[in-house]
Structure 1
Amino acid sequence: MKDNLIYNLGASILTFLLTVFITFWMTPLIITNLGTEAYGFIPLTQQVISILSVLTFALSSVIARFLAISISKGNNRKAEEYFNTYLVSTLFGAIIIIVIIVILITKINKLIDVPEYLLTDVKLAIFFGGTLVIITFINSLFLAGPFAVNKLYITKGIEAINAVTKGAAILLLLTVLSPKIWYINLAAMIAGVISLLLSIFFFKKLIPVIAINFKRFNLNILKELLSSGIWNSIGQIGVILFLSVEIILANIIFGASKAGVYGAMLQLPLLLRTVANITSSVFAPVIIKNYASKNMEALINYCNKSVKLNGLLIALPASLICGFAGSILNIWLGPEFVAHKWLLILSCAYLIITLSPLPLNHIFTAVNKLMFPGLATIMLGVINLILAISLSVYTNLGLYGIVLAGAISLIAKNVIFIPIYSSLVTNQPLRKYFVGLLYPIIGASFVIILSIIIQFYFQVNNFWDLMLAGTIITIGYILFSFFLLFNKEEKSYLLNIYKLFKKKI
């Protein structure tokens, strides 16, 4: 199990670093070629398309769990029924998604503010983005293979290849052809196809006993998957109200130009959220396995360690962005963006605590108690939408109102609801899963203070200055966390993992 944790977590960190590099390189490249206003429609169309994920999430969010449990029990026939039922369902789901994409393409200029010169490009971006949704829907089935056998480093490797392929395709399209915003979604679709082919290959290698056989389609299995995942899908509506409304509201309320500026800066907090989901997923197989074996003590201990470790991993990049916000914007996007540094700081600061508890979400999947999380997410998502409109329209906060609304709502959901509900479904005291939440705040405070001290004596004027300062702080953060934030048991555990890692290399 430790071996797999090393591979899974190591691959997640490498994928994170690669994603950071591509994001830092790609965003100014696109803005330089397309302009800020046009750039704003890249995240905007992606957020519009993400609404389609509601249609797929009911199945894609739970298939890995059912496959993993069936395989762990040696019930290959049941696993094959889950596999083929899901596969047949994706074919019908694809037809529905295609119809919605066509409607979106024909009505998009009535839904959001699109300049006439960008209308065709936006429509093409929606087409390629919608196609990617279908590819991702199918790919979720085959990515369940590495999850089922706890080899998530394979998934992370595929994600890394996806990121590199997407970045290379964007660079090629933007430099060889006349720049268009739909190149981004086209590149993502190409990378998605390659990821799907790789996922199919590894699925066959890891679980050769499962084969495509449409006769294994089982309506009762489909009902089981839907009844389990429907609350995830409802919860996904809430997630969309949390994440996707930000750039859409910015476009509708403040216009395409301001939305372009906001969309550019939003890439960093979105990156942090993506990375948190990647790292938190590493802990899912063990959480599900501990619950399946009814080892509640191990489940609780592992979950608290997961929250602590996930929080400390996210606290470092989030607090570095807060500490060097002005320098990052100046070096990354240009001097004209420095005036918005406090918007970036606020967008990232609250994520330090709100992203830490994400591993606990896998408890709900393990115990199959998804109704209340789904209802809570959609309720708080609606509150977020109302707050965002109220604070940005009826106060002088402007874009800060949208960010502040997200902070209030996400704290309520992740920091309050998730730990408490985790305690309820595992029959534990309500404070049981709050143990790991304090450590990321302490770690982030250390990084921010050190960032301020360094900038007092040292000017960060270019990328290499930023890298040097970041490296110094990262080393200090690792030492600070190891000696002051981890207990003896955790230190011993980490040292054992380090020894195993040295043997592997």
Structure 2
Amino acid sequence: MGQGKLGANLISNVAFFALNIVVSLWLVSYLVRQLGVAAYGLVPLAVTVAGYFNVITAGLNAAVGRHLTVAMSKGDHARASSIFNSSLWAGALVAVIMCLLGLPLLEHLADVIEVPAGFETDAGWLFFLTVGGLAVTTFGSSYQSIVYSRNRFDLQNLGNILGLVGRVVVVVALFQLSMPKLWHVGMSVLCASLLTMGVVMWASRRLAPDLKARPSDFSWPVVKEVSSTGGWIFVAQIGTLLLVNIDLLVANKVIGAAEAGRYALVLQWSLLLRNFALVIGGVFGPPMLILFAEGKVDELISYARRSVRFMGLMMALPVGLVCGFSESILRIWLGADYVPLALVMVLATGHLGLNLAYLPLNHVSMATNNVKWPGVVQIIAGLVNLAAAILLAQAWGLLGIAVAGGAVLLVRNTLFTPIYAAKVLHRPALTFVRGALFLFLVSVAVGLASWGVSRFLAPQHWGSLAASGALVSVVYAVMAWFFLLSTTERAGVVDKIRRKLKR
């Protein structure tokens, strides 16, 4: 169950990422044309604010995934049912509370953030409906935990894909039926969440038919036990908000709604890369939990090291392409007026080549249930980022916000993440550090190669840009196969392909 679905999960993740790129880029351009860049800036800001509400449940949900995976891997059905139902009904209560907390946004949003004139009411509904979409996801998170525990990210991605398509269909239909409104976008987010959760609930019934909603299986002691893990994850989530999701709010308050809208366009690419890394890195979680539960620490360490290397080599390509082709992307996507944002895009995405490589190591602290210090460090890093973003935004504008976020993330993930993962596994501090500089240099090399190709070929439309990117990708794939992968790694890939073909 642990590693057998890795191939299918990775393929489905890549498929979802590819569709997400196409849909997101088209949708952003479409919304900017229909609503204007200042009004569009409220859309990703609404998602960011909704993420603040998500702090309420993010820690609990992550802990539920861990405990449910361990219980199901041991065949303890009674405990699994208790964990599932305790988190389900607690999640339902929290979802209601989230909606109640979101009600003030309908009337008082303009008191909190800068809203373009004439959009006050619409913006309130946009934010409230977006919170409502998150409430739906919160209620269904227990069903997501079943999919997670069975390591079936392919089914999760089926729901994600249908939700993505549903979001586009709803927003386009509403825009066509009447004058485009911000609340139409919020309604599309809510509908997408309902569709995604519907698929996840269907999948969970297939994967674990014995786990059913039973109020009698709810247990406060189980909630408290799971919350003991989730509490520090909760702290870490607050730090993550300050570290990753504070940029748009700082831009809105310090620089203004119009500039925040421009910054939101650049962050779209950073968000795409982060989401891709999260879904790719997520597939390594269940195998690590199972290996630790079975006491196979050496195998866990080997698996974690391979995961970091895999993530680094895989993310080097998209990160390098986005940085190297930044000017061409902005020109073709939005027009020549947005090309000056290229440097901001490079600063906001370039550091991800290293930072995202270390994502799989977060599963180590979760597997070993050592989540206190990651939470403490994350909150400290988040506060430092908030202060640095405000100060640098006042001095350098959007460039300052991008510099602050990238620098703090690099310091955190270079000095803490790999060293702490080694510590909790009782191994030398540099166990996971080796090769970090190499992974970063690979990302830089791809970026420089992409920049050179963009200067030489000067792509002027999506077709030529895709061809230019494909050229770099093919060269990178060949170089990676012959020079970046070891003989053992190449043999492993060939063996997996042969086994797939024999099925």
- Fold shared per TM-score above 0.5: yes
| TM-score (ref. length: structure 2) | 0.97
What's 1:267 paired with? Answer: 268
What's 2:154 paired with? Answer: 153
What's 2:458 paired with? Answer: 459
What's 1:178 paired with? Answer: 179
Letter in 2 for 1:119: E
Q: Matched residue pairs, number?
A: 502
CA contact (8 A) 1:235 1:375 kept: yes
- CA separation of 1:462/1:125 partners in 2, compared to 1, >3 Å: closer, same or farther? same
Letter in 2 for 1:423: A
1:22 deviation in Å?
0.8
- CA separation of 1:478/1:389 partners in 2, compared to 1, >3 Å: closer, same or farther? same
Per mean C-alpha deviation after superposition, the further-off stretch among 9-18 and 57-66 is 57-66
**Which of structure 1's runs of 4+ aligned residues deviate more than 6 A?**
none
The yes-or-no answer on 1:291 pairing with 2:292 is: yes
| Structure 2: distance between partners of 1:177 and 1:435 | 57
1:266 aligned counterpart, secondary structure? helix
What's 2:487 paired with? Answer: 488
- CA separation of 1:482/1:105 partners in 2, compared to 1, >3 Å: closer, same or farther? same
| TM-score (ref. length: structure 1) | 0.97
Per mean C-alpha deviation after superposition, the further-off stretch among 179-188 and 228-237 is 179-188
| Structure 2: distance between partners of 1:368 and 1:319 | 34
What's 1:392 paired with? Answer: 393
What's 2:471 paired with? Answer: 472
| Structure 2: distance between partners of 1:452 and 1:398 | 25
CA contact (8 A) 1:307 1:436 kept: no
CA contact (8 A) 1:58 1:232 kept: yes
Structure 2's unaligned 5+ residue stretches are none
1:221 deviation in Å?
0.2
1:143 deviation in Å?
1.3
| Structure 1: distance between partners of 2:186 and 2:500 | 37
What's 1:74 paired with? Answer: 75
1:52 aligned counterpart, secondary structure? helix
CA contact (8 A) 1:58 1:229 kept: yes
Q: How much identity, in percent, do the aligned residues show?
A: 28
| Structure 1: distance between partners of 2:121 and 2:492 | 55
| Structure 2: distance between partners of 1:210 and 1:255 | 49
1:314 deviation in Å?
1.5
1:146 deviation in Å?
2.0
What's 1:91 paired with? Answer: 92
Structure 1's unaligned 5+ residue stretches are none
CA contact (8 A) 1:12 1:156 kept: yes
1:428 aligned counterpart, secondary structure? coil
- CA separation of 1:82/1:163 partners in 2, compared to 1, >3 Å: closer, same or farther? same
1:65 deviation in Å?
1.2
How do 1:10-409 residues align onto structure 2 when only pairs under 5 Å count? Answer: 10-393=11-394, 395=395, 397-409=396-408
What's 1:423 paired with? Answer: 422
1:436 deviation in Å?
4.5
| Structure 1: distance between partners of 2:73 and 2:386 | 42
| Structure 1: distance between partners of 2:202 and 2:35 | 37
| Structure 1: distance between partners of 2:85 and 2:197 | 17
| Structure 2: distance between partners of 1:77 and 1:436 | 44
1:33 deviation in Å?
0.6
What's 1:498 paired with? Answer: 497
| Structure 2: distance between partners of 1:383 and 1:429 | 28
- CA separation of 1:73/1:456 partners in 2, compared to 1, >3 Å: closer, same or farther? same
1:466 deviation in Å?
0.4
1:420 deviation in Å?
0.9
CA contact (8 A) 2:38 2:258 kept: yes
1:374 aligned counterpart, secondary structure? helix
Letter in 1 for 2:298: E
Letter in 1 for 2:356: L
| Structure 1: distance between partners of 2:7 and 2:213 | 32
Question: Deviation digits for residues 436-490 of structure 1, max 9, x if unmatched?
Answer: 4234323323322322332343221111000101111111111111111111111
CA contact (8 A) 2:320 2:448 kept: no
CA contact (8 A) 2:384 2:408 kept: yes
Letter in 2 for 1:108: L
| Structure 2: distance between partners of 1:173 and 1:452 | 40
Cα RMSD, aligned residues only: 1.4
CA contact (8 A) 1:9 1:282 kept: yes
| Structure 2: distance between partners of 1:500 and 1:179 | 52
